[in-house]
Chains A and B, each alone.
Chain A
Amino acid sequence: MKTKQDFPSINERPPEGLKEDGTCFRVLVIDDSMFVAKQLGQILTSEGYEVVATAVDGKDGVEKYKELCPNVDLVTMDITMPKMDGITALEQIMAFDKNAKVVMVSALGKEELVKKSLMLGAKSYIVKPLDRKKVLERIAKVLN
């Protein structure tokens, strides 16, 4: 997806996905759409983040998080998924690891869902269609 304004800056700056020690921030992408996983993956890797795994539904996402923990710095979570939705998966991940950093990434923007996710512990809520700049800004902020 093309972004409207996202030009490389004249000044060199380190990719946001790199930590101070030189290793990458590791991201677990949870989305049932192969297209979204690819798109998010491209946005993330272009800025130096590492996508350590992709899960295709909430249940798969929770399992993968439990397996990979503590080697995951951030989770992106879709909401509308088969088998287990993103809100339920968020609840389970937060119950497993209260320090988990989960960012909701959904096409649904209902205020009640945003509030519920944030109250359950999500660090941010991004509404699709994805804007590369906004995604990177929000993620960088969460990982500060």
Chain B
Amino acid sequence: MNVVYINPFVATSISILQEVLGGAEVKRGDLGLKPTAVPIMGVAALVGLAGDVEGRVLFDMTIDTALKIASVMNGEDLPEFDDLAKATISELANLITAQVVTKLHELGFHFDLTPPALFVGQKMEVAALDGENVEALIVPLLTEYGKVEINFSIRERV
């Protein structure tokens, strides 16, 4: 995990989340490092990265938080975590990751992102069993709707 990536990731995540939530307060919790196997809180949006760096960005939250955030983003109360709600959370992941890609591009790191994938389930785990331990940077973002944990697992291609 190159320290150069950290600030753009964190700053962009906070600002985009704040913007889509209509200016609601978003506080950053303590950053941490975890081995990539991560238990999922209920809803996980995953965006792949490829290019000068490779890896993935995972947005993790409870289904309750996901539903609330999706409701705010749609400007209406969504009754259940249906296709529209899923598309909304996927788009949130896309918005944040794409702006991170843009910012890091300006710093000289050239890479691209894949369309997002959304996972919903209880007691899931995401593991990247690629030999060496690729560490994941965890950025918890605290909102009035609950916590969104952003999990960056990237490494440079040699």
Chain A interface (Cβ < 8 Å from any Cβ of B) = 1-2, 32-36, 38, 80-82, 106-112, 128-129
Contacts and interface: CB of A to CB of B under 8 A. Distances in A.
Contact of A107 (B99, B105, B106): B99
A81 B115 contact: yes
Contacts, number: 57
B101 A108 contact: yes
A2 B74 CA distance: 9
Interface of B: 16, 19-20, 22, 73-75, 83-84, 87-88, 90-91, 94-95, 97-99, 101-102, 105-106, 113-115
A109 B115 contact: no
B102 A34 contact: no
B115 A82 contact: yes
A124 B95 CA distance: 19
A109 B99 contact: yes
Nearest to B98: A107
A46 to B, nearest CB: 12
A82 B113 CA distance: 11
Contacts of B22: 1-2
Contacts of A112: 105
